[in-house]
Amino acid sequence: MSNAKLLVVGELNVDLILNEIHAFPTVGKETIAEEMNICLGSSSAIMAANSAALGVDTAFCGMVGDDYFGEFVLRELRSKSVDCAHIKTRKGQKTGCTLVMSYEQDRANVTFPGVMNALTIHDIPLGQIDSYQHLHLSSVFLQEGIRQDIEQVLIKAKTVGMTTSLDLQWDPAEQWAFDYARCLPYVDVFMPNEAELLALTGAGSVGSAIETIQPYLNTLALKMGRNGSMGIRGDEQVAVPAFEGTQFVDAIGAGDSFNAGFIRKYMAGGSLEDCLREGNLMGAVNTTAAGGTGAFCDRQKLSENIQAFWGLELNLI
Ligand SMILES: Nc1ncnc2c1ncn2[C@@H]1O[C@H](COP(=O)(O)OP(=O)(O)OP(=O)(O)O)[C@@H](O)[C@H]1O
Ligand SMILES: [Mg+2]
């Protein structure tokens, strides 16, 4: 039996990142990229890897194909101390891949979901789930199997005494087929960004979007990019400003790192404000190095950077 305390259920893929591309891709032509990197992709994996980097015992439940990219994902997660016992390898299937074409500030992405859609409630270790304290679900619209089972997954987790968090992420199909009235009562912490909350509710403003979901809500942790984050729990409403960065590289994965910081504090029993502050801090840390996990490699270095950039002591054991 695993002694992990955080269980992350989600999608897995590699990011194939092309930088310094000479021209925009055109059908029938060829262009050159000066730089290429292959790294661990997927929001859920970044959240899990960074939680483990912050000292949280973390296990991942997901699926890869029996191919080179699947082996790569497993190797990367293991190297970041994420327990991979609940990652299944599907024979004859392909691991997901995102081709990221990076142009200065912006990126054009093409995602091949591969085996992401195949994960269902039956793959989640629900029998052993009571050995975990917290379940984090992410990227629901990229995982058709999980999207269909989500209410049952959440109910089961609550039944065995776990706390739960959910980051839906963007819906590429823009259908937003998530029944928030039924599901949110089983979500302890709902973690969208502003654009996702507006799209989900169809509301014209963040205020009315919050009013729409409020009857079903436990805690809302709303991510607002450079404006920081806002928390709502019952009558309590707290806004926490972002940590200004002097060392900005890119914001890839900032939301996932926010989730890792927030949930670490939440699992330790922190106040809503403390959870938001640690989320913001890890979101800001994320922006100081390339990609979603670059800033979270070494715990000693992480603490030193937080001290150097923001004068804060972070006690990571
Ligand atoms: N440029 C920045 N400088 C400082 N902090 C930032 C910056 N960008 C993001 N953050 C911090 O990270 C948190 C999460 O980022 P963001 O709001 O972009 O999440 P998201 O939209 O879910 O991102 P993602 O695209 O990674 O899913 C913010 O609430 C903020 O505290
Ligand atoms: Mg996000």
Residue 31 CA, ligand 2 centroid: distance in Å: 31
Residues having CB closer than 6 A to ligand 1 are: 193, 223-226, 228-229, 242-243, 245, 248, 251, 253-256, 258, 280, 283-284, 287
pLDDT confidence of residue 2 = 43
Report which secondary-structure segment, H or E, holds 276: helix 272-286
The residue to mutate among 42, 139, 258, having the most atoms of ligand 1 within 8 angstroms of its beta carbon, is 258
How are beta strands 58-65 and 83-90 bridged, if at all? parallel
Q: Which of 80-89, 148-157, 187-196, 238-247 has the lowest mean pLDDT?
A: 238-247
* Distance in Å, CA 223 to ligand 1 centroid: 7
Q: What is the pLDDT of residues 13-48, one digit of tens each?
A: 999 989 899 999 999 999 999 999 899 999 999 999
User: Ligand 2 centroid vs 93 CA: distance in angstroms?
Assistant: 27
Domain ranges of the chain: 6-11+43-95+114-310
pLDDT-wise least confident of 190-199, 216-225, 236-245, 246-255: 246-255
Higher pLDDT, 247 or 190: 190
Average pLDDT, the chain: 93
Check pLDDT > 70 for residue 130.
no
Is the pLDDT reported for residue 297 higher than 60?
A: yes
What distances in angstroms separate CA 64 from CA 2, 13, 139, 165, 241, one per listed residue? 20, 8, 16, 23, 38
Which of ligand 1's atoms lies nearest the C-alpha of 167? 22
Nearest residue (by CA) to ligand 1, atom 13, is 283
List the end-to-end C-alpha distance of the chain, in Å, as a whole number.
Answer: 23
pLDDT higher for 209 or 313? 209
Task: Please give the single-letter amino acid code of residue 3.
Answer: N
Instruction: Report the nearest-CA residue for atom 1 of ligand 1.
Output: 226
- Predicted confidence band of residue 1 (pLDDT cuts 50, 70, 90): very low
Query: Who has greater pLDDT, 231 or 294?
Result: 231
Give the position, in ligand 1's atom list, of the atom nearest the Cα of 225: 17
Instruction: Report CA(66)–ligand 1 centroid distance (Å).
Output: 33
How much is the pLDDT for 129?
58
**Res. 90: pLDDT tops 70:** yes
Ligand nearest to C-alpha 292 = 1
Cα(222) to centroid of ligand 2, in Å? 10
Residue 276 pLDDT class (50, 70, 90 cuts): very high
- Are residues 42 and 72 in contact, defined by beta-carbon separation less than 8 angstroms? no
Q: Mean of the pLDDT values across residues 249-268? A: 94
Q: Provide the whole-model pTM.
A: 0.94
CA 280 – ligand 1 centroid, Å: 7
Q: Which of 130, 124, 103, 262 is nearest to 192 (CA)?
A: 262
Q: What is the number of the ligand 1 atom nearest to the C-alpha of 240?
A: 31
Give the per-residue pLDDT at 308. 92
Higher pLDDT: 213 or 298? It is: 213
Q: What proportion of the chain, given as a percentage, has pLDDT over 90?
A: 85
Question: How many A from CA of 229 to the centre of ligand 1?
Answer: 9
Task: Say if residues 142 and 169 touch (Cβ distance below 8 Å).
Answer: yes
For ligand 1, atom 7, which residue shows the shortest CA distance? 226
Architecture per CATH, 6-11+43-95+114-310: 3-Layer(aba) Sandwich (3.40)
